Structure 1
Amino acid sequence: MIALIVRVVIMSGSHQSKPVVDTQKVLVSAADLPQGLLLRDEDLAWKAVPVADVPLGAIVSGAPDAPELKGALLRHAAASGTVLVAEDVILPSAPGFLAATLKPEMRAVSVAVDDVSGNAGLIQPGDYVDLLLTQQMDRRTDLPDLAVSSETVVEHVRVLAVGSEIKRPKTGDAPDAVGNRARTVTLEVTPRTGEVVSVAARLGNLSLALRSFATASRDPAVSMPASSAQPAPVWAGDISRAVRDLPRSRAVQVAAAAPAPVALRPVAIYRGSEKADATASVAAGGDSASPPLPSIPASR
């Protein structure tokens, strides 16, 4: 019995001797992040850090005055697990934020979109997209299989703003809360690509195709290489069998509706006691050696 009491006292003493470490959850980078990145949920994580090691200006979980870093611009590269402070980013509400997001020698150009061509609000600032041009060619060709065309005119450009929003919506917001109100999307392009976008907007309807987040580089300093061979446009006849068959069916209808050739009536020509059939001569183009037909005397 005495041995049991001694054991309990020793165990309770050992538990009390363990130091209590006070920690705080601070915001850190979830991966290696490049300079100039527009931050999103996947780039940020919470990490428990001893209070003594929390740097000044760190974003502490639950702090009432903690800034929202999602959608902010990263001023410099950050390794995975780096504690982020307010001075590491440029907030979307800061003056000149949009100009600060542009790489050197790049331009911001806006294109008109609707709910459908803008992916119904699913495209957000920081995403990468391709720009598709769809044209109605009815006034330029009489061939039904060439009546509509679609082609990719710009590849792998970064979305800077959707409408007037230059930051991603907060977690829990409806995905189309911003996109359904947006009528323009602002893209980061080279000066030459800006000219391409301007002409394409005049030629037809522009649509945005969202690129994969998993495979596309999100480093703004890395430009995607231009495609060596431009893919051929997609035409209406490439998609629809009905459109491809339309010219042949119309040809059959036109041939069926064409009037039948008029049969030539036989004409007999009498020269004295000789009789000749003029039908074959007329059908063959006539005989230049044959004398002209006699005129019919007027009745008296």
Structure 2
Amino acid sequence: MRLSSLFTFVAGLAVAGGSAYMAREFLESKYAHAAPSQEEVLVDVIVAGRDIALGQTIESHLLTTVAWPVKAAPSGSVTDFNELIPQAGQPPRRARRAISQGEPILISKISDFGEKVTIVQSLSHNHRAMAIKVNAVTAVGGFVTPGDHVDVLLTQGRDESLRTVTILQNTRVIGVDQDADENSDAPEVARTVTVEVLPEDGQKLALAQKAGTLSLALRTVDASNDEPLEAVKLSDVMRELSPVPDQAPSTTIKVRRGVEVTFTEIN
């Protein structure tokens, strides 16, 4: 009887030990698979703590950090403040473009230490900056601001030869008078509007300003397909059309008098 009890006890220990071993193997395997992957590893990316204007000095109080997955971090982002803040006696870096609050600081959007920053840094590749003389009427009442897109219309001629033609479409505004801040949204009656154009379009603008009056048409923010537009002449606007179409439909009235029915047509 004692031998049987001892055997049962030993068998129980063996089963318990095996169960514990299997449980440990299961948990180790589970946690090994649950270990954070490369995509879940975070890095502190430096972002703008507030809006930074074009040409503004990059200073520490304008910056903060946001934890970002390593694999999802924007290309060219900065993680070391020493890459942005100058050492003692070193000239600062400046914003080449307006940077919004919360936007990652990218190397492509800031100058080198001591580099001069002007509106040139905001131009797209192989584009030029060209100024257009405007007033409250030709500049959409002052509602054109940097960053907007406009069409440029030329009106020229006199009397019966007066006509208007669209010479440029979907042109980006990069400056209004001396303001190049794309975060600016206050209406302003300007004297000049600077637009971004290709070299050949700059030639068109220079010639058009001598030929007549340029007006801006403010576009919507959504993209659209542009098509060539024909010039509109004064005669196209001043057409005298009859208020009644030539083939106006007639109205017929049916009148019944006893057994007699008559029809009367009214034009």
TM-score by length of 2: 0.49
TM-score by length of 1: 0.44
Greater RCO (CA < 8 Å, at least 6 residues apart): 1
Larger Rg over CA atoms? 1
